Amino acid sequence: MKKKIGYQGVPGSFSQQALSEYFSGANPEELLEFHFPEFEDIFINLENNTIDYGILPIENTSTGGIAETYHLLNEYDVYIVGEWSIQIEHHLLGLPGSSIHDLKQVYSHPQAYEQSKPFFKEQGHIKFIPHNNTADSARLVMTLADKSIGAISSKKAASIYNLAIIAPGINFSSKNYTRFVILSKRKEFKDTADKISLVLTVAHSPGSLYKVMRHFEEAHLNLTKIESRPIIGKPFHYLFYLDFNGNIKDASVMKALERVKNSCLYYKFLGNYPSYSLPSE
Amino acid sequence: MKKKIGYQGVPGSFSQQALSEYFSGANPEELLEFHFPEFEDIFINLENNTIDYGILPIENTSTGGIAETYHLLNEYDVYIVGEWSIQIEHHLLGLPGSSIHDLKQVYSHPQAYEQSKPFFKEQGHIKFIPHNNTADSARLVMTLADKSIGAISSKKAASIYNLAIIAPGINFSSKNYTRFVILSKRKEFKDTADKISLVLTVAHSPGSLYKVMRHFEEAHLNLTKIESRPIIGKPFHYLFYLDFNGNIKDASVMKALERVKNSCLYYKFLGNYPSYSLPSE
């Protein structure tokens, strides 16, 4: 039985790269890749068993949390079973033979443009046109076949869509990473799991978030991330997404989670999985 | 001397509306309005005294914090001196006489599309094309003068650019608000100020964020919001943006702030200003 794995976007996208790297230990013969146009398609296809695993970006180290992934993690009953990070390098691509002076418009995802903005500020003559996907912007440039049109995309997309790299590494921070989460309909608890993700809400009263955090502190659990996201329909009330170190097979972790759960208005367990460390760390 | 006030975007934008409402108590004769293409222009023009006050969106209740505003607040030495929230209602606009069946493409800001996504899922035939600004998308529709092209924009933009409202109120959450911050180069401490904003970083070690929060708890200061944002160039380390209730003329608040400052690696005061409450609250 082949493992069915899915990503959002098109071949050559960073999501496909992250998926390939995450599953690089598996026999390629045993993997079957699917790709979908929307983030939500990953959740829908996990729920109806079209795919066994899905991957979605959750955070970029230059531009922050990816709102849609956070939102959908709370909406659907799927679990985080792993994470992976890849270094993101953006290149300015164009038709072979075109130069930076030929370019009048570049297509890309707004995040890629944000991550490369200082470069384009220096190149005052190039207009940015937002597109849904970096890899698909490269495909578009190939299709339009116009020397004045370029894309911000990856090296891999340049090679897939036969484009030239007009300017390499245009992202302003060389330490530009995107972290992905690997999702499954079934909970998986590996012995090597050392990161737990939760989403919760607390009472809209003084000190209520602090009281939740105290349970982590008392159990000596290191809270590594806290992300607040809006609650739709309840203006200026927030969902808190928390990551902390631990394995739920550890009795003290389970006890702390029980206490956290009891001090929240709403609580949802998102997963316990092996954390990814950057090579340099 | 006229008060020079600036917003990002074009006339008819939600930013202009928020600015007008915030300064509605002032004599219109004493106000001089400026508008700029980029968020950063607000900071640059405050610093070089082209404008006295600027306004920028910081948070939407359906889609969350606005990354660029958070980032720039930390980069520049300007202060938050006020806040304002407006209800955001998105309408589907088109040329007069066109119907929803004529539309093949709609332009808008990706946030407006995200806030109206369920509507477009039902209308499978309309393709979304991202644009930098909702009001400018309306202007574009007027300019292109093509019945197959529409925009997601405001009622005001419809009236400014002579467009018809093809479908009103298409945002999925009727409780859809955007909160704006009013910025100035000079600190202002009003007696009515009851909200303080800070940005800080803590040591990358267990319990360090908790230790900072304890100082708020001990001084009975209600922490109303915590937002984590990436630190550029330091992957997976975070800036924390905190909002809490208080006035810095209160000695106990000052004392708590001193303790917070001393327990942080990095600390920046962003402002103390009167909070905005939704009419229903």
Identical fold between A3-88+176-184 and A91-167: yes
Structure tokens at B110: 């990706």
CA-to-CA separations, B153 to A148, B104, B110, B235, in angstroms, rounded:
30, 16, 11, 36
What does the buried/exposed string (b/e) look like for B226-240 if buried means 16 or more CB atoms within 10 Å of the residue's CB? bbbbbbbeebbebbb
Q: Is the pLDDT of residue A12 over 70?
A: yes
Q: Is the pLDDT of residue B281 over 50?
A: no
Q: What is the spatial distance between Cα A46 and Cα A101, in angstroms, rounded to a whole number? A: 46
A281 CB contacts (<8 Å, ≥6 apart)? none
Residue range A31-38: average pLDDT?
93
Torsions phi, psi for A74 (to 5 deg): -80, -30
Contact A213 B217 (CB under 8 A): no
Q: How much is the pLDDT for A280? A: 62
Strand partners, A27: none
Q: Nearest CA to CA, how far is B249 from chain A (Å)?
A: 21
* Shortest CA distance from B245: residue in chain A: A206
Q: What is the spatial distance between Cα B175 and Cα A172, in angstroms, rounded to a whole number? A: 37
Alpha helices in A14-108 (DSSP H): 14-22, 39-47, 67-75
Q: How much is the pLDDT for B262? A: 95
Q: Domain B3-88+176-184, what fold? A: D-Maltodextrin-Binding Protein; domain 2 (3.40.190)
Contact A209 B213 (CB under 8 A): yes
Contact B235 A175 (CB under 8 A): yes
pLDDT band for position A201 (cuts 50, 70, 90): very high
Q: What is the spatial distance between Cα B252 and Cα B258, in angstroms, rounded to a whole number? A: 10
* Shortest CA distance from A67: residue in chain B: B63
For an interface test with B, which of A70, A84, A178, A209 has the most B Cβ atoms less than 10 Å from its Cβ?
A209
Q: What predicted TM-score, i.e. pTM, was given to this entire model?
A: 0.85
pLDDT tens, residue by residue, A144-167 = 999 999 999 999 899 999 999 999
Q: Nearest CA to CA, how far is A186 from chain B (Å)?
A: 27
Instruction: Identify each DSSP E strand in A49-148 by its residue range.
Output: 53-60, 64-65, 79-87, 91-94, 105-108, 127-130
Q: Return the number of other C-beta atoms located less than 10 Å from residue A92's C-beta.
A: 26
% of chain A residues with pLDDT over 70: 99
pLDDT band for position B174 (cuts 50, 70, 90): confident
Q: Nearest CA to CA, how far is B178 from chain A (Å)?
A: 9
Q: What is the spatial distance between Cα A146 and Cα A124, in angstroms, rounded to a whole number? A: 20
Contact B210 A213 (CB under 8 A): yes
Residues of A in contact with B221 (CB under 8 A): 206
Torsions phi, psi for B199 (to 5 deg): -130, 140
pLDDT band for position A233 (cuts 50, 70, 90): confident
A39 touches A31 (CB < 8 A) = no
For chain B, domain boundaries: 3-88+176-184, 91-167, 195-273
Which overall architecture, per CATH, does domain B195-273 show?
2-Layer Sandwich (3.30)
Q: What is the spatial distance between Cα B238 and Cα B228, in angstroms, rounded to a whole number? A: 6
What's the DSSP call for residue B247?
A: -
CA-to-CA separations, A222 to A127, A244, B1, B200, in angstroms, rounded:
45, 5, 54, 18
A262 CB contacts (<8 Å, ≥6 apart)? none
Q: Is the pLDDT of residue A33 over 90?
A: yes
Q: Which of residues 24-43 of B touch A (CB under 8 A)?
A: none
% of chain A residues with pLDDT over 90: 66
- Compute the mean pLDDT over every residue in chain B, rounded to the nearest whole number: 92
Q: Domain A195-272, what fold? A: Alpha-Beta Plaits (3.30.70)
pLDDT tens, residue by residue, B16-69 = 999 999 999 888 889 999 999 889 999 999 999 999 999 999 998 877 888 889
CA-to-CA separations, B136 to A278, B63, B73, B150, B172, in angstroms, rounded:
41, 21, 25, 12, 22
Q: Is the pLDDT of residue B104 over 90?
A: yes
A92 touches A126 (CB < 8 A) = no
Q: Which of residues 105-144 of B touch A (CB under 8 A)?
A: 110, 114, 129-132
Q: Which of B129, B205, B232 is nearest residue A62 as measured by Cβ atoms?
A: B232
Q: How much is the pLDDT for B49? A: 96
Identify which of A197, A270, A276 has the alpha carbon closest to the alpha carbon of residue B236. A276
Angle between helices A251-262 and A208-218 (to 10 degrees): 170
Tell me the CATH number of domain A91-167, given options 3.40.50.300, 1.20.1200.10, 3.40.190.10, 3.10.20.30: 3.40.190.10
Q: Nearest CA to CA, how far is A232 from chain B (Å)?
A: 5
Structure tokens at A73: 């993690």
Strand partners, B87: B177
B230 touches A62 (CB < 8 A) = yes
B20 touches B84 (CB < 8 A) = no
Q: How many CA atoms lie within 13 A of A155 on its CB side?
A: 7
pLDDT band for position B207 (cuts 50, 70, 90): confident
Residue range B117-138: average pLDDT?
88
Element of type H or E holding B29: none
Structure tokens at A97: 């033979």
Looking at per-residue confidence, does B227 or B198 come out higher? B198
Q: Which of residues 220-239 of B touch A (CB under 8 A)?
A: 220-223, 225-230, 232-236, 238
Q: How much is the pLDDT for B158? A: 94
Q: What is the spatial distance between Cα B186 and Cα B224, in angstroms, rounded to a whole number? A: 25
pLDDT band for position B280 (cuts 50, 70, 90): low
Looking at per-residue confidence, does A257 or A130 come out higher? A257
Q: How much is the pLDDT for A28? A: 82
Q: How many CA atoms lie within 13 A of A112 on its CB side?
A: 30
Q: Which of residues 179-198 of A touch B (CB under 8 A)?
A: 179
Q: How much is the pLDDT for A281? A: 47
Q: How much is the pLDDT for B233? A: 82
Q: What is the edge-to-edge ordering of all strands in the sheet holding B164-167?
A: B127-130, B105-108, B149-153, B91-94, B164-167
Structure tokens at B198: 């800070």
Looking at per-residue confidence, does B27 or B148 come out higher? B148
Identify which of B54, B59, B60, B52 has the alpha carbon closest to the alpha carbon of residue B35. B54
Q: Nearest CA to CA, how far is B28 from chain A (Å)?
A: 31
Strand partners, A83: A181
CA-to-CA separations, B169 to B139, B195, B200, in angstroms, rounded:
19, 32, 39
Q: How much is the pLDDT for A236? A: 83
B137 CB contacts (<8 Å, ≥6 apart)? B106, B107, B108, B109, B131, B151, B152, B153
